[in-house]
Amino acid sequence: MTVMDQSLPAQIQLIDQLEGHEDRAWHVAWNPARPILASCSADKNVRLYSYSASPQSEDNSIKFTHLTTIPTGHAKTVRAIAWSPSGKTLATASFDSNIGIWAQEGDEENEDGVSNAAGEWECMSLLEGHETECKSVAYSSSGSLLASCSRDKTVWIWEAHPDYDFECMGAPLPPLSLSSMVAHLNASLPAQILASASYDDTIKLYIDDPQEDWFCFQTLTGHESTVWTLAFSPDGRYLASGSDDCTIRIWERVQEHKWECVSVLEGHERSVYSISWGRGKPLDGGDAGSLGWLASTGGDGVIHVWEMRVRSSEKDPSKKTISHRAIAKIFNAHDVHDVNCVVWCPRKGSEDLFATAGDDGLVKVWKVIPS
């Protein structure tokens, strides 16, 4: 049974429950350009849903409709998915060690994009090279680069050329320490930084040196077990990480190439599998100090929503400090099951909406509403 914490300033309301996966649902991704939500699962399928985002929907009347199911043909679990910034291409990362690139034949700019999306999605390219399970994929903000990571302890950067031609840039990134394993990654949009979270309890930050190749400029240590998930703040100045040590750490960019841990968020009782950092909708009017909302979830089945703020220090106003406040919490979000993924809706006006994927095979959509 789903239980809500009533003492907090906001509630988390279930908007829709999307059934259809026949096995554990691992990941969900909102299309950045069109009102489409995608999910992937151990059943090797990707499911696409459209949702109505009518501007006057003051109530909770958002409706999700199943558009199509893509039988990916991956031989094993589809672990993660990522939309390109244009929203036309979807990448799938599979335990079969391959990355699939999916799009629709002759997809042109079309007003009626959603009905189009119900048509057939084809595998335009299959990126091979990883030696073991692929765990994550991420596009750069321009869509010209795609990063993938695997249990084989490498991160690969692929350059996207026209006609879905992907070229691997140089050697895999490079060299990670022997004990390390990349578990998840995220491409930061404004900062041009690639971050990877690792099985060796660290986070590695990479930049693209114009003179050379990508290189790791800092390794962040502090977590005491596997780092499962990463999320940059909307302004790119902070990075949040979630770990098997049950904590979330907030890292701040204190210099151009220097990040420091500035905060530790506690509250989960088992592994933190997923976090998402969205713009949020400040509960008490427009708040310039707000850094948006951070949502977290994991093996304890709990979803936390935290409001993140930056404040000037009282002693030294030029010094800024980050603070957080729990604004909503829900227990047993997917009944007794682990929750593997949480992602905020990027759509303007729907910043209070997020989706989750669980071991029960369900995808759920939730809304944060003031108490």
* Closer residue to other proteins in complex, CB, 104/136: 136
Least spacing, CB of residue 133 vs other proteins, in Å: 5
Least spacing, CB of residue 356 vs other proteins, in Å: 16
Least spacing, CB of residue 307 vs other proteins, in Å: 28
* Closer residue to other proteins in complex, CB, 97/140: 97
Give the C-alpha separation, 158 to 89, whole Å.
Answer: 14
Least spacing, CB of residue 246 vs other proteins, in Å: 13
Which uninterrupted H or E stretch holds 367? Answer: strand 363-370
Cβ neighbours for 55, distance < 8 A, ≥ 6 positions apart:
349
Give yes or no for a contact between 367 and 4, defined as CB atoms under 8 angstroms apart: no
* Closer residue to other proteins in complex, CB, 80/191: 80
Cβ burial of 85 (10 Å; 0-12, 13-18, 19+) is middle
Least spacing, CB of residue 274 vs other proteins, in Å: 12
Which uninterrupted H or E stretch holds 114? Answer: helix 113-117
Which uninterrupted H or E stretch holds 115? Answer: helix 113-117
Q: Where are the beta strands (DSSP E) in 224-300?
A: 227-232, 238-243, 248-255, 258-265, 272-278, 290-298
* Closer residue to other proteins in complex, CB, 88/334: 334
* Closer residue to other proteins in complex, CB, 204/334: 334
Q: CA nearest 168: which of 158, 160, 176?
A: 158
Give yes or no for a contact between 186 and 193, defined as CB atoms under 8 angstroms apart: no
Residue in this structure with the two tokens 């995808």, named with its chain if needed: 363
Least spacing, CB of residue 254 vs other proteins, in Å: 31
* Closer residue to other proteins in complex, CB, 234/301: 301
Distance (Å) of CA 71 to CA 16, 68, 75, 100: 23, 10, 11, 12
Residue in this structure with the two tokens 């039988």, named with its chain if needed: 71
Least spacing, CB of residue 99 vs other proteins, in Å: 16
Query: Is residue 22 classed as helix, strand or coil in its secondary structure?
Result: coil
* Closer residue to other proteins in complex, CB, 26/344: 26
Which residues of this protein are in contact with other proteins, per CB under 8 A? 24, 42, 76-77, 79, 95, 132-133, 135, 151, 179, 183, 199, 225-226, 244, 270-271, 299, 336-338
